[in-house]
Amino acid sequence: MTWSLILSDTEPVLTSDEPVCGWSPGDAPVGYATASIVWLPLSPRVILQLRDREVDPDKLGLPSVASATGRDELIRVVNRQIAGQAHRWVIHHPDDRLHDGLQMAPRTAWRDQLVSVTEDGGTSRELWVQRRLPAQ
């Protein structure tokens, strides 16, 4: 993984009781072993980003960190991810009015998902994955 910091002078960063979030393009299951990017908020203005070395950052479909506008948009993406996977608490500095502009993603939770079932004679085989799915 390539480590970098995402810094912002304007966009506040939130955290939660489940602050580490993984992301990959598409709808495949995302876990710590399969995520193209893992984010961890470090302070009200800094996020640690771990990116898979094999993945071209331009092909991820995320805002570019090359400009201040792109960094702020990426921080908003990360904020939505963190808020959506929070178990109970979303935490931010009281002076930051995050709730004014934050569009909350649907709440997610780690759950098992049946991927496939194969029948071989009298034997049935099931393939399950654990992934973040909409909470019930």
pLDDT in tens, 71-97: 989 998 898 888 888 878 887 777 776
- In this predicted structure, the answer to whether residue 42 has a pLDDT above a threshold of 90 is yes
Q: Are 49 and 35 in contact (CB under 8 A)?
A: no
Mean pLDDT of the chain: 83
Predicted TM-score of the model (pTM): 0.74
37 confidence band (pLDDT: 50, 70, 90): very high
Give domain limits for the chain: 2-105
The pLDDT score that the predictor gives to residue 31 is 72
Most confident stretch, 27-36, 82-91, 105-114? 82-91
Give the distance, in angstroms, between the CA of residue 134 and the centroid of all CA atoms in the same chain.
14
Give the distance, in angstroms, between the CA of residue 119 and the centroid of all CA atoms in the same chain.
35
CA proximity to 24, closest of 63, 49, 65, 60: 60
Most confident stretch, 7-11, 44-48, 102-106? 44-48
Structure tokens at 76: 């908003």
Least confident of 88-92, 117-121, 122-126: 88-92
